[in-house]
């Protein structure tokens, strides 16, 4: 049995996934713009709902691709004499995966979880809180807040204010993107692991794949510099 057409279909589906990722990225930026400019809470909530819709599409697409891959592997393993009904087999496996769906799945979507985390940081940085946000934002002395923010703006590697901060998903610390990537590349050539440069952090294996742009922090730094 030739699976060339199936492979082509999977390739097309993976392209669709990239469109979903792009949509989630754009939606995130729009939501951050809304928070930064103190726009209506309802507008931000709508962006959160859009992100959940994208997360649902991502889950459905992943289930469909999994169903196809499992069906192909099953046929390759069993090697039936007659060509089976691929469509029915995929539909059956897809339905089984979808039957296990829950709202918590969407909350655990990596991009949605990151979006929520960044949104919370944006609200703190720009002194903003939505009506349905149960997490109270602590009100502290303005001078202390400014000093603390400025400390958070400094890269632990360069000891300079960050221009393109990235956050380590594992330990939560931030660094200047170029600086941490150079260290990772150098240690890789030496076949050594990279310890988190933040003093006191025990994380001893920083990887490039664990780094994500910290949009909330970048906007806070840019905002202070404009002031």
Q: Is residue 71 part of a domain?
A: yes
pLDDT in tens, 192-205: 999 999 999 999 99
pLDDT of 209 higher than 50? yes
Q: Report the pLDDT averaged over residues 207-212.
A: 95
Is 174 part of any domain?
Answer: yes
Residue 147 has pLDDT above 90, yes or no: no
Q: Are residues 101 and 211 in the same domain?
A: no
Average pLDDT over residues 211-219: 93
C-beta pairs of 8-12 under 8 Å, 24+ apart in sequence: 9/68, 10/65, 10/68, 10/69
Q: What is the CA radius of gyration of the chain?
A: 22
| 186-195 pLDDT, tens digit each | 999 999 999 9
117 and 170 together in one domain: no
Does one domain contain both 13 and 111? yes
Within this chain, do residues 171 and 85 fall inside the same structural domain, yes or no? no
Per-residue pLDDT tens over the stretch 79-88: 877 778 888 9
For the ranges 62-76, 109-123, 140-154, the lowest mean pLDDT is seen at 140-154
Looking at the fold, whether 89 and 190 belong to one and the same domain comes out as no
CB-count burial class (<10 Å; 0-12, 13-18, 19+) for 165: buried
Backbone angles phi, psi at 130, to 5 degrees: -80, 160
Q: How far apart are CA 152 and CA 146, in angstroms?
A: 10
Query: Which are the contacts of 179, defined by CB distance < 8 A and separation ≥ 6?
Result: 155, 157, 158
Nearest-angstrom CA–CA distance, 200 and 188:
23
Cβ(88)–Cβ(30) below 8 Å: no
- Same domain membership, residue 181 and residue 99: no
Structural domain span for residue 172: 165-225
Tally the domains of the chain. Answer: 2
* Residues 100 and 176 placed together within one structural domain of the fold: no
The residue written with tokens 């004499």 in the block is 81
Residues 63 and 175 both lie in one domain: no
One domain for residues 38 and 115: yes
Q: Would you say residue 159 lies in a domain? A: no
Distance CA 23, CA 178 (A): 26
| 150 located within any domain | no
Q: Are the C-beta atoms of 52 and 112 separated by less than 8 Å?
A: yes
Residues 171 and 122 grouped into a single domain: no
CA atoms within 13 A on the CB side of 192: 7
């Amino acid at each position: 049995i030739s699976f060339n057409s199936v492979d082509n279909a999977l390739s097309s589906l993976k392209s669709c996934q990239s469109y979903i990722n792009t949509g989630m990225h754009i939606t995130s930026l729009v939501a951050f713009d809304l928070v930064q400019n103190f726009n209506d809470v309802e507008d931000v909530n709508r962006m959160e709902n859009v992100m959940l819709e994208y997360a649902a599409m991502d889950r459905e697409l992943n289930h469909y691709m999994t169903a196809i891959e499992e069906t192909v592997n099953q046929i390759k393993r069993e090697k039936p004499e007659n060509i089976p009904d691929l469509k029915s087999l995929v539909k059956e496996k897809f339905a089984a995966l979808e039957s296990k769906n829950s709202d918590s799945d969407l909350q655990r979507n990596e991009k949605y979880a990151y979006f929520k985390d960044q949104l919370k940081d944006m609200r703190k940085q720009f002194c903003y809180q939505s009506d349905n946000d149960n997490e109270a934002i602590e009100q502290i002395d303005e001078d202390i807040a400014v000093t603390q923010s400025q400390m958070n703006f400094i890269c632990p590697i360069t000891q300079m204010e960050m221009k393109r901060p990235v956050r380590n998903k594992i330990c939560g610390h931030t660094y200047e993107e170029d600086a941490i990537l150079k260290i990772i590349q150098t240690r890789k050539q030496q076949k050594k692991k990279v310890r988190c440069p933040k003093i006191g952090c025990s994380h001893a294996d920083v990887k490039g794949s664990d780094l994500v742009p910290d949009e909330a922090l970048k906007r806070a730094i840019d905002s202070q510099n404009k002031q």
